[in-house]
Amino acid sequence: MSLKTHRRTLLAGGAALLAAPRIGGAQPAYRPEYKLSVVGNRPIPFAEGAFQWAELVTQRSNGRINVRVYPGSQLVGGDQTRELLAMRQGIIDFCVFSTINIAPQVREAGIFQLPFLMPDHRAFDALINGEVGRDLVGIMDRRDVTAVAFGENGFREISNSRRAISAPADLRGLKIRFAAGAIFNDIYNGLGANPLQMSFADLQPALSTGAVDGQENPVNLFLAFRMDTLAQRHMTIWNYVNDALIFGLSKSVMASFTPADQELVRECAREAARNNIALARRGLGIPGTDDSALVELRNRNVEVTTLTAAQKQAFATALRPVYERWSGTIGNDLVRKAEAAIRAAS
């Protein structure tokens, strides 16, 4: 190589180095796609929150953070209980987690499944917006998940094909499906039912064939999936648990974003979660909504039984041993915090 050619090469290399972004100020190389997993699909509020989060992030980042939703927990073969593990393995990047589905791995998330802990939506809000919610954010962080917002799947009501349920004895012998978590097995055994765990994907065929008599889910999901056509003729509004949702993403993925983009992801999650909560509560006759969902149930010839406070207390009393036993598993300190927050909100 001639001296002149060598000089040109050195100059070109130096120019390239000068043009290259410095490590400290470089725009990170984002992936072409970030995968978001959620149970179910539109139009249920649970899935709607996930889709809105993905759409808001994608739009407001001008496609720089391109989030695609994979509904029906398809990235984990339909088994929603595997989503947390899949995130830690790098299979999914974003997720709207059901606390029911992650409680087997994150015992503190079981706070929302303590039977009859939360009497109403004010109690639920006191948990997600207070010290309990902040504790759960820290707990998820230690499991490599950045939790950025809380949403709501809704109070879970019970339906079945055989009879109205208004007292603990009415559950005896009924085969009731639950999604996940040994606490639900204990709850239904404690009420004399025969609990069966299965994924949501397996629920509809199980109801249609009579493999199970009943199930427990929010009213909005019951209506969206037309469970009245699956022999579910009786619905009891008992508000025994409310399934909180956690809008979260992989801690390593969050760390890969610039500070401005991290805040964008958080703000989009908060907005989507607010919309999700409003949708989950629509039509239930609670303050600020009408009772159109309950009317729709009756229009579909579903017998709706709304428990009185005294009737709910009968169930709560029957399940007190379960409540006490699981308080120890979840963490007595966290349970006491939740009880105190609910008392203050009542």
Give the Cα separation of 223 and 284 in Å (integer).
12
Residue 199's pLDDT is: 83
Q: Can you give the CATH number for the domain in which 130 is found?
A: 3.40.190.170
Q: Is residue 18, in this structure, part of any structural domain at all?
A: no
DSSP 87-129: HHTTS-SEEEEEHHHHTTTSGGGGGGGSTT---SHHHHHHHHT
Each residue's pLDDT tens digit, 324-342: 999 999 999 999 999 999 9
Q: Is residue 8, in this structure, part of any structural domain at all?
A: no
Q: Say yes or no: 168 and 146 in one domain.
A: no
Q: Say yes or no: 128 and 65 in one domain.
A: yes
Q: Is residue 7, in this structure, part of any structural domain at all?
A: no
Q: Is residue 219, in this structure, part of any structural domain at all?
A: yes
Q: Say yes or no: 194 and 275 in one domain.
A: no
Q: Say yes or no: 37 and 102 in one domain.
A: yes
Q: Say yes or no: 166 and 296 in one domain.
A: yes
Give the Cα separation of 76 and 241 in Å (integer).
26
Q: Say yes or no: 341 and 211 in one domain.
A: yes
Judged against a pLDDT cut of 90, whether residue 6 lies above it is answered with no
Lowest mean pLDDT among 168-177, 284-293, 306-315: 284-293
Q: Say yes or no: 177 and 309 in one domain.
A: yes
Q: Is residue 24, in this structure, part of any structural domain at all?
A: no
- Domain of 307? 157-241+285-345
Each residue's pLDDT tens digit, 211-243: 999 999 999 999 999 999 999 999 999 999 999
**The whole model's pTM is what?**
0.90
Q: Say yes or no: 181 and 292 in one domain.
A: yes
By DSSP bridging, strand 157-160 and strand 234-237 are antiparallel
Question: Could you tell me which residues come within 8 angstroms of residue 133 by beta carbon, excluding any fewer than 6 positions away?
Answer: 127, 150
Q: Is residue 10, in this structure, part of any structural domain at all?
A: no
Each residue's pLDDT tens digit, 71-103: 999 999 988 889 999 999 999 999 999 999 999
Q: Say yes or no: 213 and 292 in one domain.
A: yes
What is the mean pLDDT of the segment spanning 18-45? 75
Nearest to 294 by CA among 158, 285, 96, 318: 285
Q: Say yes or no: 65 and 167 in one domain.
A: no
Give start and end residues of each alpha helix (H) in the chain. Answer: 3-19, 45-60, 83-88, 99-102, 121-128, 131-141, 182-190, 200-209, 219-224, 251-256, 259-281, 292-299, 309-318, 320-330, 332-345
Residue 287's pLDDT is: 86
Domain boundary pick from 232, 252, 281: 281
Give the Cα separation of 123 and 340 in Å (integer).
10
Each residue's pLDDT tens digit, 249-290: 999 999 999 999 999 999 999 999 999 999 999 999 998 889
- The span from the first CA to the last CA of the chain, in angstroms, equals 84
Domain boundary pick from 255, 281, 307: 281
Question: Do the Cβ atoms of 48 and 15 come closer than 8 Å?
Answer: no
Give the Cα separation of 342 and 246 in Å (integer).
20
Residue 17's pLDDT is: 33
What is the mean pLDDT of the segment spanning 198-212? 90
Q: Say yes or no: 145 and 255 in one domain.
A: yes
Lowest mean pLDDT among 14-18, 178-182, 236-240: 14-18
Q: Is residue 131, in this structure, part of any structural domain at all?
A: yes
Q: Say yes or no: 182 and 313 in one domain.
A: yes
Q: 62 in helix, strand or coil?
A: coil
Q: Is residue 338, in this structure, part of any structural domain at all?
A: yes
DSSP 240-293: --EEEEEEEEEHHHHHHS-HHHHHHHHHHHHHHHHHHHHHHHTTS-STTS-SHH
Burial profile 184-197: b = 16 or more Cβ within 10 angstroms, e = fewer: bebbbebbebebbe
Domain boundary pick from 254, 281, 308: 281
Q: How many domains would you assign to the chain?
A: 2
Residue 27's pLDDT is: 63
Q: In the beta sheet, which residues pair with residue 216? A: 158
